[in-house]
Amino acid sequence: MREFLQVMKERGYLHQCTDEEGLAKASGPVTAYVGYDCTAPSLHVGSLVSIMMLRWLQKLGGKPIVLMGGGTTKVGDPSGKDTSRQLLTVETIAANMASIRTVFARFLAEPFQMVNNADWLDKLNYVDFLRDFGPHFTINRMMTFDSVKLRLDREQPLTFLEFNYMILQAYDFLELSRRHGCTLQMGGSDQWGNIVNGIELTRKVDRRELFGLTTPLITTASGAKMGKTADGAVWLNADQFSPYQYWQYWRDTEDADVGRFLKLFTEVPLSEVERLAALKGAELNEAKTVLATSATALLHGPDVAEAVARTARRHFHVRVGETVPIEEQLRADVGVGLPVKRVPRETLASGIPLFALLHLVGLAESKTEGRKLVRGAGVRVNGHVAHEEHQLISLKDADTTGAIRLAVGKKKQLLVRAE
């Protein structure tokens, strides 16, 4: 495990470890897990750090377990939340779980274990569970956890259902230790208390030594939380966040974050990371392109990543007055998943002013802003720079695939289709 821990330190993953020296001395392949609740059909970029940790663990000889929270999602993790999560139906949880599974097949090589904690939590006899494991948890200790203190300090209700979450997560670690020989739990820094609970429970009940490792809270240089954009969450499933959007998200990384994100979210060698991070000014765009293409390749595959990068390069290199071969671009763009906005067919049949269309599809916050964008030569329609804000856009502007391509500046572009 020494090599794994060294990589965790060098690339910025390691925040806390319950017993670093003891973990480093562990013999044989170490089995480790990370838990993911099924609160949505997709995980988002905020989960990517722990996914990369599982990937590195496997690459360096360890055995990763992906624990799906089919049981704990019925309760809801209060960590970092001001209010209770909305309770989901069993059917919704199952659908979310099936959708999430596809992401891990990209990052982990077969065979890897994917386990559902509903396999044991759903079968628990409540009274027997309380008698067997309740004595190992004190209310005094549980009240000190950040997830509890946050709610109480803000005078927000914490339900008894949520209060049980930490006990169930601790029990997960005990069960994985018994069933799969798992000795390490990894997760974000907000999970430290829950991880320690599982370690202590297993030591008291089975007299077995387990380990915990957490990552730092990942924020951007400007202090923003990872995984959020002005348009919403950066989902990992392509049907919720297209490969092009994903590539563009990483390409838009703040200058000060490029080196750190190359370490965390790609497998670019550290020597190359150092070279790229040292670039200045316009040359730093090379590093951002490497980051975007490498991160996209891990999630969507190298072929898609390269296709997205080519599409972006064509878009970036268009100058005022130039025409981009729109037919060629659309054929490529549809393949890499440019965002598509649907507009009522009757709207496009009669024609809609460009400034109004920009607002309708979300490329401008208002019609007034749409006018300003056009006047400033910041809008392209099918590869042509637009100069007339009242230009009518209609079905006649659609290509043979039925799409109209709109672009605002260098960072926003999408396909408009009639519905």
CATH code (residue 393): 3.10.290.10
Same-domain pairing of 164 and 269: no
Greatest Cα-to-Cα distance within the chain, rounded to the nearest angstrom: 76
Tell me, what's the pLDDT at 61? 94
Confidence bin at 58 (pLDDT 50/70/90): very high
What's the rounded mean pLDDT across residues 337-353?
87
Tell me, what's the pLDDT at 224? 85
Same-domain pairing of 266 and 173: no
Q: Give the amino acid at 362.
A: G
**What residues form DSSP beta bridges with 228?**
233
Q: Is position 232 within any domain? A: no
Percent of the chain with pLDDT over 90: 60
Pick from 332, 306, 334, 329: nearest CA to 318: 329
Q: Is position 223 within any domain? A: no
Q: Which two tokens stand for residue 402?
A: 């039925």
pLDDT tens for each residue of 142-162: 777 776 777 677 777 677 777
Tell me, what's the pLDDT at 247? 93
Same-domain pairing of 195 and 62: yes
pLDDT tens for each residue of 192-251: 988 999 999 999 999 999 999 999 999 999 888 887 665 678 999 988 888 988 998 999
Same-domain pairing of 351 and 308: no
Question: Which segments of 319-412 does DSSP mark as H helices, in order?
Answer: 326-336, 345-350, 354-360, 367-375
Task: Point out the domain boundary residue: 317, 349, 381.
Answer: 317
Same-domain pairing of 251 and 198: no
Higher pLDDT, 61 or 329: 61
Same-domain pairing of 66 and 162: yes
What's the rounded mean pLDDT across residues 381-391?
89
Domain coverage including residue 382: 319-326+337-419
Average pLDDT across the chain, whole number: 87
Higher pLDDT, 157 or 270: 270
Same-domain pairing of 370 and 251: no
The number of distinct structural domains making up the chain is: 3
d(CA 104, CA 323): 41
Tell me, what's the pLDDT at 81? 52
Tell me, what's the pLDDT at 402? 83
Whether the predicted pLDDT of 180 surpasses 80 = yes
Q: Is position 260 within any domain? A: yes
Tell me, what's the pLDDT at 415? 87
Same-domain pairing of 211 and 69: yes
Pick from 286, 287, 226: nearest CA to 262: 287
Confidence bin at 330 (pLDDT 50/70/90): very low
Q: Is position 116 within any domain? A: yes
Where b means 16+ CB within 10 Å and e means fewer, 274-285 reads eebbebeeeebe
Whether the predicted pLDDT of 320 surpasses 60 = no
Q: Which two tokens stand for residue 365?
A: 């916050």
Tell me, what's the pLDDT at 325? 43
Task: Point out the domain boundary residue: 317, 352, 378.
Answer: 317
Tell me, what's the pLDDT at 292? 96
Tell me, what's the pLDDT at 66? 97
CA atoms within a 13 Å half-sphere pointing along the CA-CB vector of 87: 8
Q: Is 398 left (phi over 0), alpha (psi -120 to 50) or beta?
A: beta
Q: Is position 261 within any domain? A: yes
Model's pTM, two decimal places?
0.76
Q: Is position 15 within any domain? A: yes
Mean pLDDT lowest for which of 46-60, 319-333, 346-360? 319-333
Cβ neighbour number for residue 46 with a 10 Å cutoff:
17
What's the rounded mean pLDDT across residues 293-298?
96
Which residue has tokens 């990370």? Answer: 34
d(CA 249, CA 244): 9
Positive or negative torsion for Cα 14, 47, 164, 128: negative
Whether the predicted pLDDT of 272 surpasses 90 = yes
Q: Is position 97 within any domain? A: yes
Higher pLDDT, 416 or 143: 416
Cβ neighbour number for residue 61 with a 10 Å cutoff:
12
Q: Is position 54 within any domain? A: yes
Peptide bond into 111 cis (omega under 30): yes
Whether the predicted pLDDT of 319 surpasses 90 = no
Same-domain pairing of 194 and 98: yes
Query: What's the CATH number where 249 sits?
Result: 1.10.240.10
Same-domain pairing of 131 and 166: yes
Higher pLDDT, 241 or 182: 182
Tell me, what's the pLDDT at 137? 84
Whether the predicted pLDDT of 79 surpasses 80 = no
Same-domain pairing of 248 and 341: no
Higher pLDDT, 44 or 409: 44
Q: Are 341 and 415 in contact (CB under 8 A)?
A: yes
Same-domain pairing of 35 and 183: yes
Query: What's the CATH number where 60 sits?
Result: 3.40.50.620
